[in-house]
Amino acid sequence: MRCVTAGLMVVWALPFFLSPLGLQAAFGQDPISAKGSETQSLQPGELNIEFSRVYIFVDRTTSLGHTHGIEGKLKSGRLVVDGKSHGELIFDMRAFEADTDAGRKVFSIDKELDAGTKKKVNENMLGPEILNVKEYPIAKLENVTLSPTGKTSRRKLPEFSLEGDFTLHKTSHRIQALCDLEQKDGWHHVRGTFKILQTDYGIKPYSKMLGAVGIKDELVIYGDLWLVPSP
């Protein structure tokens, strides 16, 4: 459905590329299992930035272009699963990278780009015409609440409603998304998907050759977060 005030599209129909099989293919194994359950250095609700990621699917407007899977990292974050506490996520926009191995595999993108094309894609994405990371090095999801819906997700896990104010390029919109939570190896593993329009945040979708090559306005954003459980 489409959020009335924000112009954001929120979804929970998980296609294969956002399924556990897609993530397993991306990482080879559960990332936290590879590390263990050491949470001593983190506070309850705090985000494990080493393994938490955000992935973005960028579709092409014509058959002449490319689809892209972007992998993004976070600088910090905190979410408490109680429906009342307000958390936040801080995204490190300078660390976003297009067409990483994990980014492509999460979205089942088989075609690889040559090194020259990949470099150009990242220069365009991080440059002044799109993300402009020199002027806007971070994006924020603030005033975030994570509330149980009383339902189960397609993965047969407890379903939650995530709400918060997403700020990109000094423009904020309220978002709502459904996600699920898995308790695994001493962590809270939260996963969910929503969509935004670049133009809602003052970003003009990339296009060249009079529109013969370009990317769509809509972006699919998939969060894969690992949190220290709250008491």
Q: Percentage of the chain with pLDDT > 90?
A: 68
Is residue 22 over pLDDT 60? no
The verdict on residue 2 lying in a domain is: no
**Range scoring the smallest mean pLDDT among 63-67, 87-91, 192-196:** 63-67
| Confidence tier at 10 by pLDDT (50, 70, 90) | very low
Range scoring the smallest mean pLDDT among 84-98, 153-167, 201-215, 217-231: 201-215
Show the domain range for 208.
9-227
Confidence check: pLDDT of 156 > 50: yes
In a domain, 4, yes or no: no
| CB-CB neighbours of 204 under 10 Å | 10
pLDDT at 62 over 70: yes
Domain count for the chain: 1
Task: Kindly state the average pLDDT of the residues 58-79.
Answer: 91
Tell me: pLDDT of 38 over 70. no
> Residue 7 has what pLDDT?
35
Q: 9 has which bridge partners?
A: 2, 195
Residue 65 pLDDT grade (very low, low, confident, very high; cuts 50, 70, 90) = confident
Q: Residue 61: what pLDDT? A: 84
**Entry pTM:** 0.82
The alpha carbon dihedral of 104, 108, 114, 119 has a sign of negative
Within-domain flag for 35: yes
In a domain, 3, yes or no: no
186: CATH: 2.40.128.110
229 or 22, greater pLDDT: 229
Residue 74 included in any domain: yes
pLDDT at 123 over 70: yes
**DSSP string computed for 94-139:** EEEEET-HHHHHHTT--PPPPHHHHHHHHHHHHSTTTT-TTT--EE
- Closest residue by Cα to residue 143 from 117, 98, 188, 176: 176
